[in-house]
Amino acid sequence: MSADIVKETLALPTVFEDEVPLSLEYIPGKLPHREVQMRFLTQLFRFTLENPFSVSQRVLITGDVGTGKTVLSQRFGTDLVKAAKSRRINLQYIHVNCRESKGSLFMIIKRVLTHFEPEFPKRGFAPEELLHTLMDMLDDKNIHLILALDELEHLIRMEGATPIYNLTRIQEERAGKPIRLSLICILREIEYLQQLDKSTIDTLQRNIVKLDKYSSRELIDILRDRVGLAFKDNAVTDETLQLVADIGGQSGDARYSIELLWRAGKYADSESSKRVSTEHVRKAAGSVYPMLRGEYIAALSSHEKYMLLALARVLEESQEPYATIGEVEREYKVVCEEFNDQPRKHTQIWKYARGLGAIGVIAASKSGEGVRGKTTLLGLQNIPASTMREQLETVFASARKKRR
């Protein structure tokens, strides 16, 4: 029976021409509304092409989820390598996600080394030894490496300032030798750098590329490019595109908007429709919440997740749109005890609330009439409390299994 369903489904018409341009891994040939940042990056690395192996660059790309940090770095890296090749310069770009590398400098450098030497031994080295081994390898192969460290906050959380210090200072130990390493550091909020020493902060903050959230109008331009590549002619109307951009514009998240468009196309296919309608977009928006996508949750600290779980539980129990910060803090302590973790103090809870509010996850406001005294009220933005609770409990359960 299941084989027949698959066969029948594959025989049905589809609104898609090619789904790849709607995938998270896709790197478009051009980046609408990021041309200024591309030019700035090119100017920063211009000297690397004009005078190879003579200077090291350190660049910081920062912005909210979905503002194009990763794809900007990858598009730039690809283009710069191509330009270097035309000048017969051996320049390489390697992109490593610090979260996928478990916030470990050892894992990060090992990935880079195995890129050049797939049979490189997996054990027997300290992180500092691996870093020096990498520099020796770059010398032997006459390579200038641009290493992009995505989601840098995970490396800082796990190992503090030491890895970043070592990466930014490695060239100072090689006086007289060619410059082999440049860094592109990608992170959500620049505040994470406050955990580093002042000299390292000054080094990284010298060249900052700040990406703002996309507006609805800007999202339309991005989506229109993807529609031309991914969908059949006339499958997506202007009205449909506008609705996707309007919904996505609430968070300014291009990734969410592209995923919403793809999912709407899937709803159209499920109904054998030749066009993606606004109703398909509404169905898609009701089935996926931007906050619940993996990269949003993974970017949060454990205690931010504890607080969100506490808020979701309080709201689900009360069936009210808001909870007081005192109610949430009491439940937060229960959650911390549940996970054998030490709760943070009230001032830190307030900072979590402010941070989660800044990225559009929760709504925070001051109490009005009917509440004795002034207090902060917290609610969830466009996400059912039960859905948030279920998702976070699933994340915590999965993490527990991995630790066993």
| One CATH from 3.40.50.1000, 3.40.50.300, 1.10.10.10, 3.20.10.10 for 300-403 | 1.10.10.10
The pTM of this model reads 0.74
The beta strand positions in 17-131, using DSSP E, are: 58-63, 91-97
SS3 363: strand
Distance CA 333, CA 345 (A): 10
Q: What was the pLDDT predicted at 371?
A: 46
The yes-or-no answer to whether 214-288 and 300-403 have a common fold is no
- Give whole-number Cα distances, 22 to 17, 245, 343, in Å: 11, 15, 41
Q: What was the pLDDT predicted at 8?
A: 61
∠ CA 271-273-279 to the nearest 5 degrees? 75
Residue type present at position 216: S
* Strand 208-211 versus strand 91-97 pairing type: unpaired
Are 100 and 118 in contact by the 8 Å Cβ rule? The answer is no
Longest Cα separation, the chain = 72
The beta strand positions in 203-259, using DSSP E, are: 208-211
Q: In this structure, which topology does domain 35-211 adopt according to CATH?
A: Rossmann fold (3.40.50)
Distance CA 242, CA 227 (A): 12
pLDDT along the chain (404 residues), means of 10: 60 89 92 96 95 93 92 97 97 94 91 91 81 94 97 87 88 88 91 77 84 94 96 94 88 89 94 92 77 68 91 88 90 93 90 75 64 71 78 83 64
Distance CA 317, CA 262 (A): 34
- Give whole-number Cα distances, 196 to 27, 148, 164, 301, in Å: 32, 18, 8, 18
Q: Provide the 10 A C-beta neighbour count for residue 7.
A: 9
Task: State which H helix or E strand residue 144 sits in.
Answer: strand 144-150
SS3 345: coil
Tokens representing 90 are 């051996």
* Strand 323-324 versus strand 376-380 pairing type: antiparallel
| R_g (Cα) of the chain, nearest Å | 24
Distance CA 219, CA 207 (A): 26
Q: What was the pLDDT predicted at 403?
A: 63
Q: In this structure, which topology does domain 214-288 adopt according to CATH?
A: Helicase, Ruva Protein; domain 3 (1.10.8)
Q: What was the pLDDT predicted at 404?
A: 60
324-343: b or e for each residue (b if 16 or more CB lie within 10 Å)? Answer: bbebbbebbbebbeeeeeeb
Distance CA 213, CA 67 (A): 5
Q: What was the pLDDT predicted at 356?
A: 79
DSSP state of 100: T
Q: What was the pLDDT predicted at 11?
A: 59
- Give whole-number Cα distances, 39 to 36, 72, 254, 260, in Å: 5, 11, 21, 30
Domain-wise residue ranges, the chain: 35-211, 214-288, 300-403
Burial of 404: CB neighbours in 10 Å, binned 0-12, 13-18, 19+: exposed
DSSP state of 110: H
